[in-house]
Amino acid sequence: MNLKGRDFLKLLDFTAEEIFYLVDLAAKLKEKKKKGVPMDSLRGKNVALIFEKTSTRTRCSFEVAAHDLGMGTTYLDPSASQIGKKESIADTARVLSGMFEGIEYRGYGQEIVEELAEYASVPVWNGLTNEFHPTQMLADLLTIQEHFGRIRGIRLAYMGDARYNMGNSLMVACARTGMHFTACTSQKYFPDPVLVEQCREIAAAAGGSITLTEDALAGTKGADVVYTDVWVSMGEPKEIWEERIRELSPYRVDRGIMENAGEGAVFMHCLPAFHDLKTETGAQIEKSFGIREMEVTDEVFESSQSLVFQEAENRMHTIKAVMLATLAGED
């Protein structure tokens, strides 16, 4: 397996074997890190980290992973660079390619990161767009593999806004790896029909399946993984909260949903999550709409079935695998 020079823009661009390779490489790197084995084989290289949206996990993962590999990092936020305002994506790509060995981009439309990759002569990694969040997928697959000892055949139910980056990406990840994906939400929030059809074909060949249902209990019955995400994503207007709360509240992950899924089921969430009142937004929502929890109850979030912090740590190990594989082509 040699991924040297490849971009990492969406999971659709990768075969199941390539995805499993990256997950296994991340597992090896995680073990090495725990044992304190040095892994700075990319010493002398530098990566640019462009963030047009905020981040805790993705930024920290790229920075820590790059530093562990011996690389330098430069963080660019939209207010501190010329990107988009005074300089096009195509020009930015060519400027950064002359100074850095790799470029991470988090922002809005998928077409932006695709354009960046087209013009860059170094690997480009997608740190989240409106449509896809591929590095999150590798962390989720590693977490599932660690917990269940396998990925193929696992049944994953996704609740909430399934037509945005997380719903799309999980559907693709499940299809590619032979998992069973169920989008369990109101019809309005089902993923794009064209992507659903594409994923159904991929899933059929890989031994998985794609199901869409509005029935929260039927959709989560017997699920191994119950997954959700925020109801309003970065870049969406705050006026949309009222509508989302009304339409997605029937799909909140609570104790009833987890019991319906079954004893061995786990809860996953890409984070950040609104499960209590300890955030500005959470407090504001309670004041405006009188609800204390949103996509997941605090009880489920804090339960022993919740894998969210293991999942968050795995962001770093999997992002390290992506950088190592695409920059060095080897472990």
Q: Report how far apart, in Å, the C-alpha atoms of 289 and of each of 120, 189, 242 are.
A: 46, 21, 8
60 binds ligand NVA (CB under 6 A): no
270 binds ligand NVA (CB under 6 A): yes
Tokens describing residue 150: 């396998």
Tokens describing residue 107: 């922002």
Nearest Cα to Cα of residue 136 among 11, 232, 52: 11
Output the smallest distance, CB 118 to ligand NVA, in A.
23
Q: Of 6, 136, 174, 269, which residue is the catalytic one? A: 136
Considering only residues 69, 89, 116, 128, which one is a binding residue for ligand CP as defined by CB under 6 A?
Answer: 128
CB nearer to ligand CP: give 14 or 51: 51
1 binds ligand NVA (CB under 6 A): no
Considering only residues 25, 257, 270, 300, which one is a binding residue for ligand CP as defined by CB under 6 A?
Answer: 270
CB nearer to ligand CP: give 116 or 270: 270
Residue 64: contacted member of ligand NVA, ligand CP, none (CB under 5 to 8 Å, by partner type) = none
Strand order in the sheet with 46-51: 72-76, 46-51, 102-106, 124-126
145 is catalytic: no
Stretch of residues binding ligand CP (CB under 6 A), selected from 6-14, 56-64, 116-124, 294-302: 56-64
* Residue carrying structure tokens 């997928």: 137
106 is catalytic: yes
252 is catalytic: no
Per the CB < 8 A criterion, the answer to whether 219 and 248 are in contact is no
Q: Of 6, 57, 59, 106, which residue is the catalytic one? A: 106
Cα separation, 152 vs 315, in Å, equals 20
Which residues does residue 124 pair with via DSSP β-bridges, in sequence order? 103
Q: What's phi and psi for 124, nearest 5 deg?
A: -115, 135
Site string for ligand NVA, 161-180 (x = CB under 6 A): ---xxx--------------
What is the enclosing helix (H) or strand (E) of 44? Answer: none
What is the enclosing helix (H) or strand (E) of 327? Answer: helix 308-327
Considering only residues 58, 169, 177, 326, which one is a binding residue for ligand CP as defined by CB under 6 A?
Answer: 58
Tokens describing residue 248: 């997605």
147 is catalytic: no
Binding site for ligand NVA (CB under 6 A): 128, 164-166, 229-230, 233-234, 270
Binding site for ligand CP (CB under 6 A): 55-58, 128, 136, 270-271
